[in-house]
Structure 1
Amino acid sequence: MASKQAAVKVVNWSQLLERTTAQTRPRILAFKNKTDAIVAANLKAKEQDASINWDHYQNVVTDQALVADFKQKFESFKVPQPVDNKSAQLNEKAKADIAAVTKFNEELDAKINNIRVNLDRLLSLPAVEQLTIDDIYEHFPQRRPDYQKYPYWPHRHPNDLSKFYEQYS
């Protein structure tokens, strides 16, 4: 019972009323009163016994066969409950999704660490004005031309030239 009442008091009405204008306060108070009445009626209905007192109806109704017929039909009627055939699939999918998210986060953390290492390396370089061409080739080996394999300018494979020119255009 206390848990039901605790769930009802989720809205802090005093803070809500403090933060609203004077024109809207009566509407909010009316809404609060209506919701409180609905919640109270709901809690009261849940506390009442939902079973049928058949002895009372047998004493009040003159046609005993009618009461017996209603009682027999009421007790024989079973409300069909839906079969839960999706929860297992959804739980498996949730586990797979959690594994995929974990894997993605690990890959992302690895990329972030790689970027941080690269950033730290770039920040540790001397100023651009102080770099020589040999320093650039030392810190960026992918830029070093291969004079042995390609002795003529641009010292790269012809298939790599489109990538090379796209970088500088």
Structure 2
Amino acid sequence: MAKRFTKPSINWVEFEKRVPPGQKGKFLAFKTKSDSYLRRVEANPPEPPKINWEEYQKLVPVKGLVDKFKSQYESFKVAVPADTFSQAIDDQWKSLEPQIKAFCAEQQKQIDEANKELIRIKALPKFEEMTLEMYAEIYPDQALDPVNRPTFWPHDPEDQVGYKPSPKKEQQVAKAKK
């Protein structure tokens, strides 16, 4: 006899935590359908009802017909396919685990770098309190330096003195003119 499921094997709370906000409706519909299937299975008894063959022997006038049905009924077995995929899935999961761990470690490095940058940004003075001199000290490469790096309106790289376009830019301009 096949294994009887008495409770769902899915941890719905953990599953729901991983569902994006835009997919909550579809998730709830899926959960509802799954719960309805489980309720339908639970509504039936785990074993089929027993057949009273003696009662049928008394009611059916044809000799041997009930015995024939009884032997066929008892010899009937529902073919349950063998599970050939679980091992392949487990093997595939084991082969992917190192890649997953490496990816998680790489992402954790990026998270740590981003947290360091957030701490650095939070340590800066408030925008309202920062002066141009403070900005020049903190960001010397981005600050306005009219003596050493003067720029001209509209302050785009293409409009500055000594600008040389990259070869890709020249090719794009040539294609656009054609």
Pair in the same fold by TM > 0.5? no
TM-score, normalising length: structure 1: 0.42
- Quick check: which one's helix share is greater? 1
TM-score, normalising length: structure 2: 0.41
Q: Which has the higher contact order (CA 8 A, sep 6+)?
A: 2
